[in-house]
């Protein structure tokens, strides 16, 4: 496999590529400028200017058509997955090796993900035993740019009460992550959904505990689950 070249992209470009990757999902749907504006907190006109710049570079990072939205080019997807790999390896290193709380690793990784060298990335991965999952339960892209897929659905989409395993928790709300962690809701734990109210949240119990925990609508939206094996 060819060695990756030094990254010429800016931190801002990386953030756009990551946002398009996340909003497009596994299906690689086209992403609207409005969705990017909301996710990045950037004015719509600035989003349009950036997308035009990324689409017209010598090696275009996106495919952009006004009023039709944007999706990543092959080069843009490679870079986005590389940055996501950096981010999730750094999160895992901070969590496992430096004992950072789960709610603090995302912000630290956001600062560092753009700048670590290929050599440091390789050493972090080797030190951790080449992990496949980060502390939040998210897949870590492989070195050759493949994002593994896990079989899970949002907790908000379940139709029946019963026993489920928490696969992952969204990492962009530190306060919510801390609240869930202090109540024992972390990736890998089993929860029993006792009642579900799509508007107000769900009532759940943890394995071995009779105490019912109320999960707000925001918490329910942040959790992905699967049926226990």
- The string of pLDDT tens digits covering residues 75-103 is 999 999 999 999 999 999 999 999 999 99
Kindly state whether residues 127 and 157 are assigned to the same domain: no
Judged by average pLDDT, the poorest of 136-145, 152-161, 171-180, 214-223 is: 152-161
Instruction: Mark which of 120, 149, 178 sits at the end of a domain.
Output: 149
Secondary structure of residue 64 in the 3-state scheme: strand
Kindly state whether residues 183 and 92 are assigned to the same domain: no
Residue 161 pLDDT: 87
Instruction: Mark which of 104, 132, 149 sits at the end of a domain.
Output: 149
Count of structural domains, the chain:
2
> In the numeric block, which tokens belong to residue 36?
């990017």
For residue 2, name the pLDDT band (cuts at 50, 70, 90). very low
> In the numeric block, which tokens belong to residue 147?
């994002």
> Residue 116 to residues 85, 109, 121, 122: CA-CA distances in angstroms?
11, 10, 7, 10
Say if residue 197's pLDDT is above 90. Answer: no
- Taking only the tens place, the pLDDT of each residue in 45-72 is 999 999 999 999 899 999 999 889 999 9
Residue 195 pLDDT: 83
- Environment class of residue 117 by beta-carbon count within 10 Å: exposed (0-12), middle (13-18) or buried (19+)? exposed
> In the numeric block, which tokens belong to residue 111?
């600062």
Residue 115 pLDDT: 87
Q: Which residue segment(s) compose the domain that 7 sits in?
A: 1-149
Q: Across residues 133-155, what is the average pLDDT?
A: 91
Q: Across residues 215-229, what is the average pLDDT?
A: 88
Residue 229 pLDDT: 62
Residue 4 pLDDT: 44
Q: Do 219 and 206 form a contact (C-beta atoms < 8 A)?
A: no
Kindly state whether residues 141 and 40 are assigned to the same domain: yes
Cα 159–Cα 162–Cα 163 angle in degrees, nearest 5: 125
Supply the CATH number for residue 200's domain.
Answer: 2.30.30.90
Kindly state whether residues 218 and 178 are assigned to the same domain: yes
For residue 188, name the pLDDT band (cuts at 50, 70, 90). very high
Say if residue 22's pLDDT is above 80. Answer: yes
Residues 6+ apart with CB under 8 A from 125: 89, 131, 143
For residue 1, name the pLDDT band (cuts at 50, 70, 90). very low
Instruction: Mark which of 103, 127, 149 sits at the end of a domain.
Output: 149
Chain centre to alpha carbon of residue 32: 19
- Environment class of residue 68 by beta-carbon count within 10 Å: exposed (0-12), middle (13-18) or buried (19+)? exposed
Q: Across residues 123-151, what is the average pLDDT?
A: 93
Average pLDDT, the chain: 91
């Amino acid at each position: 496999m060819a060695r990756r070249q030094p990254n010429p992209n800016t931190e801002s470009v990386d953030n756009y590529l990551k946002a398009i990757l996340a909003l497009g999902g596994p299906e690689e749907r086209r992403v609207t400028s409005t969705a990017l504006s909301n996710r990045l907190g950037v004015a719509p006109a600035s989003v349009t200017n950036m997308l035009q710049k990324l689409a017209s570079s010598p090696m275009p990072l996106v495919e952009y058509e006004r009023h039709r939205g944007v999706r990543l080019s092959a080069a843009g997807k490679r870079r986005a997955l590389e940055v996501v790999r950096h981010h999730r390896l750094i999160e895992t290193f901070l969590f496992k090796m430096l004992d950072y709380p789960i709610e603090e690793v995302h912000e630290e990784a956001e600062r560092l993900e753009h700048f670590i060298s290929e050599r440091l990335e390789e050493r972090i991965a080797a030190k951790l035993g080449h992990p496949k999952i980060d502390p939040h339960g998210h897949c870590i892209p492989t070195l050759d740019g493949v994002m593994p897929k896990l079989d899970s659905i949002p907790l908000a989409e379940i139709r029946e009460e019963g026993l489920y395993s928490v696969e992952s928790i969204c990492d962009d709300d530190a306060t919510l992550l801390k609240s869930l962690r202090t109540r024992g809701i972390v990736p890998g734990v089993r929860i029993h959904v006792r009642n579900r109210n799509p508007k107000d949240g769900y009532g759940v119990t943890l394995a071995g505990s009779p105490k019912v925990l109320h999960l707000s609508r925001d918490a329910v939206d942040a959790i992905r689950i699967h049926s226990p094996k």
